[in-house]
Amino acid sequence: MTTANNEIVFITSKTITLDEPIKRGDSLITEITLRKPKAGELRGVSLVELGQMNVAALQQVLPRITTPILTTQDVANLDVADLVEIGAEVSLFLVKKADRTAFQRT
């Protein structure tokens, strides 16, 4: 994303409103905030699989970078449209700053 001065804006977190809220106990999770992962939070995960939005890779990484924290079971129960949106945002976090403008959505 760029500003009016064509400066690149670096996004380190993204809030996503879920189409299908997650029911946890008596409460509903309607929004999830994703935080750009640090290298250590990607341990044990193939970056290629994460970039390809592999469900198993997302199940491993999302509990480390979401607020509220999603469990592996929460990720498994996400609506497919929500999972795709979340996976796309995680994939964008893996792209170099200089290349992000080609992929940024508003």
Residue range 55-96, pLDDT digits in tens: 999 999 999 999 999 999 999 999 999 999 999 999 998 888
pTM value > 0.85: no
Q: Residue 102: left if φ>0, alpha if ψ -120 to 50, beta else—which one?
A: alpha
